[in-house]
């Protein structure tokens, strides 16, 4: 198939997540990057575009111009990737949605509920699609786990435990990434927004349950930090299941310790992102099985979402690439096997952030959804 045309807002020289999106878009050959407003600094925008082989006339100084120009071209971009800090999602998202160009936006949706509401409004009236890159849902075994839950391999769910732990904010670190991610204005929240929303999205995706309420205790362990760096959260789901999330950026020794553990009446699964090609599956009364991506038994089904045989590890970029691959299919009218994180999932994440903040401010009182 001919690759779709991708544009990018943000992600210029020195940025982090923009590069990840480009790897993910490139891996399966379904996208080609042809336009960008890569930086708010015009010189850096131009230089970054040149680095990436973007033609000068499609290296835009700002996203408004880009949205307008691309919408007007017959060879205009099919979709735009928005990879700016959280407080700069709403502007471009709305501009491109209004221009009828599909939006692939980094998470969380926005730095404020107000911004989120405006994006929602734009998405509701646009014919373009909105996709939020909760990339961990692209891991093959996570998709497998979702299917297993759905078809009842675990029975009625009881307990759901998710963690996302890091240690890079253990001290009062100063660098480009740390600066905006700990700035309440630009990030909107700390650990709960940056990684907690991933954990919350992941468990929702796999469990397929609606969250009814949460109780949270947020904490800032580093002196002077204005956003949470550690969060303990309890959850209640429809149907009676109970859950816990631990999100931390001060957990010494943890790099990207995202884990998901789900226990039902008949079985359980346990998965750790740092070794994502294996998943434990236990049927009550039987020995625990180690499912492998594409391997024998139940794990075999995951070869749909993998590129290489079992025993050869795939990682973070391949999982991320599955979202880009699915997005290309979706835009091309090909049905995907699993739902992509859409504006509703994005708003769930915003609810999660605000509910954590409200509950914590209220000494852990349960916050209903």
Site for a second copy in 150-209 (CB under 8 A): 154, 158-159, 161, 166-167, 170-171
299: contact with a second copy by CB under 8 A: yes
State how far Cα 304 lies from the chain centre: 21
Q: How far is the CB of 56 from a second copy (least distance, A)?
A: 15
Query: Residue 363 corresponds to which tokens in the numbers above?
Result: 């000494």
Q: Do residues 194 and 249 lie in contact, with contact meaning Cβ atoms separated by under 8 Å?
A: yes
225: contact with a second copy by CB under 8 A: no
State how far Cα 161 lies from the chain centre: 18
Q: Which stretch binds a second copy (CB under 8 A): 71-79, 117-125, 307-315, 348-356?
A: 307-315
211: Cβ–Cβ under 8 A, 6 or more apart, which residues?
200, 204, 235, 236, 237, 238, 348, 352, 369
Cross-strand bridge partners of residue 245: 162, 233
Q: How far is the CB of 335 from a second copy (least distance, A)?
A: 21
Query: Residue 116 corresponds to which tokens in the numbers above?
Result: 């989120």
Give the Cα-Cα-Cα angle 109, 217, 112 (nearest 5 degrees): 25
Question: Site for a second copy (CB under 8 A): which residue of 44, 186, 225, 242?
Answer: 242
246: contact with a second copy by CB under 8 A: yes
Q: Do residues 169 and 250 lie in contact, with contact meaning Cβ atoms separated by under 8 Å?
A: yes
Q: How far is the CB of 312 from a second copy (least distance, A)?
A: 4
- The interface with a second copy within residues 59-118 (CB under 8 A) comprises none
Question: Site for a second copy (CB under 8 A): which residue of 74, 174, 175, 286?
Answer: 286
Question: Site for a second copy (CB under 8 A): which residue of 23, 47, 62, 69?
Answer: 23
44: contact with a second copy by CB under 8 A: no
CA 60/CA 57 separation, integer angstroms: 7
DSSP string, 201-217: HHHHHHH---EEEEEEE
2: contact with a second copy by CB under 8 A: yes
Q: How far is the CB of 116 from a second copy (least distance, A)?
A: 26
Return the number of the residue (79 or 258) whose C-beta is nearest a second copy: 258
Q: How far is the CB of 140 from a second copy (least distance, A)?
A: 12
Strand arrangement, sheet containing 367-368: 278-283, 267-272, 257-264, 157-165, 242-248, 230-237, 211-219, 367-368
Question: Site for a second copy (CB under 8 A): which residue of 238, 288, 344, 362?
Answer: 288
Strands 31-37, 4-9: pairing kind: parallel
Q: Which stretch binds a second copy (CB under 8 A): 114-122, 180-188, 203-211, 360-368?
A: 360-368
317: contact with a second copy by CB under 8 A: yes
Question: Site for a second copy (CB under 8 A): which residue of 73, 176, 185, 312?
Answer: 312
CA 229/CA 227 separation, integer angstroms: 6
141: contact with a second copy by CB under 8 A: no
56: contact with a second copy by CB under 8 A: no
Collapsing DSSP states into helix, strand and coil, what is residue 264?
A: strand
Return the number of the residue (64 or 303) whose C-beta is nearest a second copy: 303
Return the number of the residue (245 or 343) whose C-beta is nearest a second copy: 245
130: contact with a second copy by CB under 8 A: no
Q: Rounded to 5 degrees, what are φ and ψ at 67?
A: -60, -45
DSSP symbol at 3: P
Question: Site for a second copy (CB under 8 A): which residue of 264, 302, 340, 345?
Answer: 264
Question: Site for a second copy (CB under 8 A): which residue of 5, 21, 22, 87?
Answer: 22
Count of residues in contact with a second copy, rule CB under 8 A = 87
Angle between helices 316-331 and 17-27 (to 10 degrees): 60
Return the number of the residue (288 or 344) whose C-beta is nearest a second copy: 288
Strand arrangement, sheet containing 102-105: 31-37, 4-9, 79-82, 102-105, 130-132
Q: How far is the CB of 95 from a second copy (least distance, A)?
A: 27
């Amino acid at each position: 198939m001919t690759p779709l045309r991708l544009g990018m807002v943000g992600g210029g020289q020195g940025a982090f997540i923009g590069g990840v999106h480009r790897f993910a878009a490139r891996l399966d050959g379904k996208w080609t990057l042809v336009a960008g407003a890569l930086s708010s600094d015009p010189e850096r925008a131009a230089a970054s575009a040149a680095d990436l082989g973007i033609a000068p006339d499609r290296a835009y100084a700002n996203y408004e111009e880009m949205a307008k120009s691309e919408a007007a071209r017959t060879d205009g971009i099919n979709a735009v990737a928005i990879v700016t800090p959280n407080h700069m999602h709403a502007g471009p998202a709305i501009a491109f949605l209004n221009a009828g160009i599909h939006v692939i936006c980094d998470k969380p949706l926005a730095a404020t509920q107000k911004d989120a509401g405006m994006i929602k409004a734009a998405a509701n009236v646009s014919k373009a699609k909105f996709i939020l890159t909760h990339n961990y849902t692209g891991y093959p075994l996570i998709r497998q786990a979702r299917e297993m839950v759905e078809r009842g391999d675990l029975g009625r769910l009881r307990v759901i435990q998710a963690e996302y732990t890091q240690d890079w904010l253990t001290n009062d670190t100063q660098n480009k990434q740390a600066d905006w991610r700990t700035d309440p204005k630009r990030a909107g929240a700390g650990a709960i927004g940056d990684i907690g929303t991933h954990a919350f999205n992941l468990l929702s995706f796999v469990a397929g349950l609606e969250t009814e309420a949460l109780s949270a205790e947020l904490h800032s362990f580093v002196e002077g930090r204005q956003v949470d760096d550690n969060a303990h959260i309890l959850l209640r789901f429809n149907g009676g299941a109970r859950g816990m999330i631990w999100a931390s950026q001060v957990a010494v020794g943890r790099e990207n310790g995202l884990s998901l553990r789900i226990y039902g009446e008949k079985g359980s699964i346990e998965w750790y992102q740092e070794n994502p090609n294996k998943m434990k599956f236990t049927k009550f009364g039987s020995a625990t099985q180690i499912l492998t991506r594409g391997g024998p038994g139940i794990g075999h089904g995951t070869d749909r979402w993998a590129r290489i045989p079992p025993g050869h590890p795939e990682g973070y970029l391949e999982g991320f690439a599955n979202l880009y691959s699915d997005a290309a299919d979706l835009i091309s009218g090909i049905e995907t096997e699993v739902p992509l994180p859409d504006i509703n999932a994005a708003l769930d994440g915003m609810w999660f952030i605000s509910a954590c903040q409200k509950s914590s401010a209220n000494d852990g009182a349960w916050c209903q959804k």
